[in-house]
């Protein structure tokens, strides 16, 4: 599972914003059966309903209403808002767009500011010179301010700031900027003049339809990115736009390419950690390259018989194949001691006297703290990858059992859902560690660490049961088509508990 959250180029899917997109995204089924893939987006499909049928709290803190729009649908949404603002402000649509971009398409704010001081609104949006700026008095000179050539009067063009330049210089200036990828934001050529050029002014200067089409795509990109309710799908070459009522750091999924991301930052979904914190965490992980050797080992020695053990599953509850000793992969402690005190393994014990020690000691303590959280973050990342393999094996075993008349697909669906829910819970747990790392000490952190530990304990219990169910060579069959319900009931009950712990943590600490 990749956790790379580096920003993608904002015009990466520019070639898809064209007339070729006549479809409305109805080809979603061409990619085959997505359930056969152990992708993270699958973990959220159908699992919640299955758990809620077991009597779980129906409140889902991750519930978020959004709509996936095609390129043409997005254009219609933008055009409706532009026409409304243009009529209210009594300006042309091209000017209305600059005002909308300036205030991130907040219609009520635009109206309020227009009623309060229309001139100030237009100057702040850089579509008219401010009353305090130095105005240029139109002269009778026919000399271009850039190339200094004397030209015909009708060849001189100017914005409302009255800085006049010949059409040839305007054309060259706009052509260069558009080829560099600029849409909204092309300003006057005069030095220290930041007045914005409306799109109709730029379009009249661009040579050739190809360049004009590229400029329109850049404008569309900038309009969507400036809109507080819209986000471009970050999927490769995907032209879809996600629309919401209230912008929040919530999970959204593109209906066309199935890309899953956080609406607010357009990066990989990261609840309960907020966007700024997770970006800071991943930057730190990338910079602290000296930790690579520390977390690279995949093997540890059994704390009882010292035999070398390789972790080949996602569960952190380990059992030595030689001496059968049960221990924790993270702290190597006896698994029996984890019970209700499991949080001792996931909670970092701060040194209260560290502020009074030397800078070297404080630096060592800072690295020790970082390594503690990073090792657990990385461990759950690896567990997700291993459990994705378990998920795939379960799919194959279910198919084999159905083919051998050992129950129907419905009979074995609970194993399928258990593996998906396990990944869903562990994915949330992984992102609790950056949250805890940057969280200040206090009552709130103690509560968070307690809930984090409770979730971790239940996830490991669920992982243990899922892996044991996966390793079972043959199910217990009471009669033809009748399966023993004890193991199934136990697993479904554990699913319910784990999901409840996950929801409780997100409800209390998810970014609101």
Tell me the DSSP string of 223-283. Answer: HHHH-TTEEE--STT---EEEESS--S-EEE-TTT--EEETTTSSS--TTS-HHHHHHHHH
Backbone angles phi, psi at 5, to 5 degrees: -120, 30
Q: Give the pLDDT confidence score for residue 173 in this predicted structure.
A: 94
Question: How far from 364 is each of 71, 291, 358, CA to CA, in Å?
Answer: 52, 13, 10
Query: Can you give the pLDDT at residue 7?
Result: 37
Residues paired with 317 in a beta bridge: 328
HSE toward the beta carbon, residue 316, CA cutoff 13 A: 29
| Dihedral (Cα; 455, 458, 464, 470), 10-degree rounding | -90
* Strand bridging mode 317-319 / 326-328: antiparallel
Quote the pLDDT of residue 153.
Answer: 76
pLDDT at site 488: 83
Output the six-digit token pair for 57.
């709290």
Task: Give the integer Cα–Cα distance in Å for 217 and 348.
Answer: 49
DSSP code string of 359-424: HHHHHHHHHHHHHHHHHHHHHHHHHHHHHHHHHHHHHHHHHHHHHTTSS-HHHHHHHHHHHHHHHH
Mean pLDDT of residues grouped by 10 in the chain (512 residues)? 38 44 42 41 57 59 94 96 96 96 96 94 92 57 79 83 90 95 93 92 94 96 97 94 95 93 94 94 77 52 72 70 74 68 60 63 79 89 88 88 87 88 94 94 91 92 84 49 64 92 92 60
> In the chain, what are the domain boundaries?
141-208, 275-470+489-510
If one counts every other C-beta atom within 10 angstroms of the C-beta of residue 197, the result is: 24
Strand partners, 300: 309
- What is the full DSSP assignment across 487-500? HHHHHHHHHHHHHH
User: Dihedral of CA 223/229/232/238: which sign?
Assistant: negative
CB atoms within 10 A of CB 112: 12
Place of tokens 């920003």: 7
Q: What is the 3-state secondary structure (H, E, C) of 20-76?
A: CCCCCCCCHHHHCCHHHCCCHHHHHCCHHHHHHCCCCCCCCCCCCCEEEECHHHHHH
Residues 46-59 have pLDDT tens digits of 555 555 544 445 67
Nearest-Å Rg of the Cα atoms of the chain is 30
Cα-based angle 94, 199, 263 (whole degrees, multiple of 5): 80
> Exposed, middle or buried, 320 (CB in 10 Å: 0-12/13-18/19+)?
middle
Helix (H, G, I), strand (E, B) or coil at 105: coil
CA 112 – CA 108 distance, rounded (Å):
6
Q: What gap in Å lies between CA 164 and CA 146, rounded to an integer?
A: 9
Cβ contact 242:233 at 8 Å? yes
> CA-CA distance, 233 to 337, in Å (whole number)?
46
Is 275-470+489-510 assigned to CATH 3.50.80.10?
Answer: no
Residue 68, strand partner residues = 242
Which tokens is 151 given?
Answer: 């030209």
CATH of 141-208, picked from 3.30.40.10, 3.40.630.30, 3.90.245.10, 3.40.50.300, is 3.30.40.10
Q: Cα dist. 392→34, 396, 470 in Å?
A: 12, 6, 10
Quick one: pLDDT at residue 89? 95
Distances (CA, A) of 91 to 35, 128, 198, 440: 52, 12, 11, 50
Residues 183, 221: contact at Cβ < 8 Å? yes
Exposure string of 70-106, with b = 16+ CB inside 10 Å and e = fewer, is bbebbbebbeebbeebbeebebebbbbbbbbbbbebe
Joined together, the tokens standing for residue 414 give 């609970």
- Cα angle 188, 190, 195 (rounded to 5 degrees) comes to 35
Q: Are 431 and 278 in contact (CB under 8 A)?
A: yes
Burial of residue 409 (CB within 10 Å: 0-12, 13-18, 19+) is exposed
Bond into 438 cis (ω within 30): no
* Residues acting as catalytic residues: 315
Tokens 């390594």 -> residue: 371
């Amino acid at each position: 599972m990749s956790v790379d959250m580096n920003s993608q180029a904002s015009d990466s899917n520019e070639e898809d914003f064209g007339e070729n997109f006549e479809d409305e995204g109805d080809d979603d089924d061409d990619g085959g059966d997505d359930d056969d893939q152990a992708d993270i987006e699958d973990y959220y499909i159908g699992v919640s309903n299955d758990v809620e049928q077991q009597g779980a709290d129906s409140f889902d803190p991750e519930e978020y209403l959004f709509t996936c729009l095609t390129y043409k649908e997005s254009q219609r949404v933008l055009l409706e808002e532009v026409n409304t603002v243009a009529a209210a402000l009594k300006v042309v649509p091209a000017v209305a767009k600059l005002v909308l971009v300036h205030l991130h398409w907040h219609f009520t704010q635009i109206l309020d500011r227009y009623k309060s001081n229309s001139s100030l609104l237009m100057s702040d949006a850089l579509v008219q010179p401010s009353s305090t700026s130095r105005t240029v008095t139109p002269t009778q000179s026919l000399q271009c301010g850039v190339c200094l050539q004397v030209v015909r009067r009708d060849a001189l063009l100017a914005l409302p700031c009255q800085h006049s330049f010949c059409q040839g210089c305007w054309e060259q200036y706009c052509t260069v900027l558009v080829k560099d990828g600029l849409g909204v934001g092309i300003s006057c050529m005069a030095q220290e003049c930041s007045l914005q050029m409306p799109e109709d002014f730029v379009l009249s200067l661009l040579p050739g339809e190809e360049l004009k089409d590229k400029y329109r795509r850049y404008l569309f990109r900038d309009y969507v990115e400036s809109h507080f309710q819209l986000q471009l799908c970050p999927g490769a070459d995907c032209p879809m736009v996600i629309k919401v009522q209230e912008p929040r750091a919530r999970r959204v999924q593109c209906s066309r390419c199935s890309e899953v991301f956080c609406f607010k930052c357009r990066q990989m979904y990261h609840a309960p950690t907020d966007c700024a914190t997770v970006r800071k965490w991943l930057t730190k992980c990338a910079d602290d390259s000296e930790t690579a050797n520390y977390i690279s080992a995949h093997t540890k020695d059994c704390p009882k018989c010292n035999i070398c053990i390789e972790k080949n599953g996602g569960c952190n509850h380990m059992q030595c194949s030689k001496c059968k000793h049960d221990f924790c992969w993270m702290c190597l402690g006896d698994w029996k001691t984890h019970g209700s005190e499991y949080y001792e393994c996931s909670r970092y014990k701060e040194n209260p006297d560290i502020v009074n020690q030397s800078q070297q000691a404080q630096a060592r303590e800072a690295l020790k703290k970082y390594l503690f959280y990073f090792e657990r973050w990385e461990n759950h990342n690896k567990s997700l990858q291993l459990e994705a393999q378990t998920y795939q094996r379960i799919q194959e075993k279910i198919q084999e059992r159905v083919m051998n008349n050992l129950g129907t697909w419905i009979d074995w669906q609970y194993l399928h859902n258990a593996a998906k829910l396990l990944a869903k819970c562990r994915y949330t747990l992984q992102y609790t560690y950056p949250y805890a790392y940057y969280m200040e000490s206090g009552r709130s952190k103690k509560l968070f660490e307690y809930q984090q530990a409770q979730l971790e304990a239940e996830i490991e219990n669920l992982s243990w049961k899922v892996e044991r169910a996966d390793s079972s060579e043959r199910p217990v069959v009471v009669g033809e088509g009748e399966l023993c319900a004890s193991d199934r009931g136990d697993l479904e009950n554990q699913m319910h508990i784990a999901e409840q712990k996950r929801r409780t943590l997100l409800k209390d600490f998810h970014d609101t």
